[in-house]
Amino acid sequence: MFSLAKIVLPVDFSERSLGAARYVEALAARFDSEVLILHVLPPPHYEFSALEVGGTMLNELFAARAKQVRLELDEFRTPEMARIRTRRLVLEGDPARKIVEFAHAEQAGAIVLPTHGYGPFRRFILGSVTAKVLHDADCPVWTGIHLEQAPPVDAIRFGNILCAVDLGPQSPRALRWAAALAAEYGARLTIVHAAMCGEPPLNAAAGEDWARQITERARDEIEALKRTLGVEAGVEVRTGDAPHLVCDLARRLPAELLVIGRGSAAGVFGRLRTNAYAIIRQSPCPVVSV
């Protein structure tokens, strides 16, 4: 079920968090969402493990850090969010686990956080916290490597939304979510599917016919899915590497948002199991894993 009544925004006060916050502010203004701004402090033995300190000093350092974090959280984009209902919370523990548990307890409609990749290789990695949240969260996760480049809040638009489906069991959920958001914004919705062809026939003509049959079969399945869900959308079916095809189409549209399927409470699975992380890393726009 589509709902953005509550949005969880984990922050670490970086530029990436500021960019993610701009998307959240735009969504909250549109959907009258309550924004739950969250910072998770790792346990003292984790954050200060490199320091040669005794137990008393360790506790003092952690207490000072906790006090500073609460001050920073109280000041985090406070003027910009003045008209948005917010709650600001500091939790202690493993960041990924706490984020997932908190979002589940609050029945949040989405978690918004950047990938936290670093340096020239950032497109090839996901931060460990983001990866764990993607794997364990039972609500949609909005992420992407470019969140710190978010435009100003009043310039955020969703005119083109792309939904990648693998025709597995999670595809209806992802498409339903994408269609609901597209309807709210009056956006153009496009469905993309990367068909698997396997080993093609040796004969070139037979290979072309074989690929055509596979793409036509996939297109028929998508049209049936659209009818079942009552969704209006364009359809793009191609054969080839899924991350490349999906992200290339996202660039060409250009899409402001890409929606992909993800299994609830079971990690990324189906056809996108091996491709979801690659799609997130390569996408030119934010990605929502549903």
Which CATH number belongs to the domain containing residue 46 in this structure? 3.40.50.620
Domain final residue, candidates 123, 153, 183? 153
Phi, then psi, of 262 in degrees rounded to 5: -150, 140
What residues contact 209, with CB distance under 8 A and at least 6 apart?
none
* 167 within 8 A of 260, measured Cβ to Cβ: no
Pair 106, 164 in one domain:
no
The strands making up 110-112's β-sheet, listed across from edge to edge, are: 85-92, 34-41, 6-10, 110-112, 141-143, 287-289, 257-260, 160-164, 188-195, 234-239
Domain final residue, candidates 153, 185, 210? 153
Phi-psi region of 20 (alpha: psi -120 to 50; beta: other; left: phi over 0): alpha
Pair 144, 21 in one domain:
yes
In what helix (H) or strand (E) does residue 260 lie, and over which residues does it extend?
strand 257-260
Pair 167, 135 in one domain:
no
Residue 52 has pLDDT above 80, yes or no: no
Pair 136, 190 in one domain:
no
Pair 188, 218 in one domain:
yes
- Measuring CA to CA, how many Å separate 146 from each of 67, 122, 211, 283? 30, 10, 35, 9
* 182 within 8 A of 189, measured Cβ to Cβ: yes
Pair 7, 145 in one domain:
yes
Pair 166, 122 in one domain:
no
Tell me the percentage of the chain whose pLDDT exceeds 90: 67
Distance in angstroms (rounded) separating the CA atoms of residues 269 and 243: 15
Structure confidence by residue, pLDDT tens digits, 55-70:
567 778 888 889 999 9
Pair 178, 144 in one domain:
no
Pair 97, 182 in one domain:
no
Domain final residue, candidates 132, 153, 174? 153
Residue 265: the pLDDT is 42
Average pLDDT, the chain: 87
Band the pLDDT of 126: cuts 50, 70, 90. Answer: low
Number of Cβ atoms within 10 Å of the Cβ of 106: 17
Look at the chain and count its residues. Answer: 290
Structure confidence by residue, pLDDT tens digits, 226-280:
999 999 999 999 988 999 999 999 999 999 999 999 854 444 433 345 688 889 9
Q: How many domains does the chain have?
A: 2
Mean pLDDT of 74-98: 96
Structure confidence by residue, pLDDT tens digits, 128-158:
888 889 989 999 999 998 888 899 999 999 9
Looking at per-residue pLDDT, the higher value among 272 and 2 belongs to 2
Mean pLDDT of 164-181: 95
When computed from its CA atoms, the radius of gyration of the chain, rounded to whole angstroms, is 21
- Measuring CA to CA, how many Å separate 251 from each of 96, 150, 247? 30, 16, 6
Pair 228, 243 in one domain:
yes
Band the pLDDT of 115: cuts 50, 70, 90. Answer: confident
| Nearest by Cα to 3 from 162, 140, 114, 105 | 140
Pair 144, 280 in one domain:
no
Residue 120: the pLDDT is 41
Structure confidence by residue, pLDDT tens digits, 36-48:
999 999 877 655 5
Mean pLDDT of 107-134: 73
For residue 8, give its domain range: 1-153
| Nearest by Cα to 248 from 279, 287, 289 | 279
| Nearest by Cα to 264 from 116, 100, 114, 113 | 100
* SS3 call for 243: helix
**Tokens found for residue 196:** 């698997």
* 58 within 8 A of 9, measured Cβ to Cβ: no
Pair 165, 201 in one domain:
yes
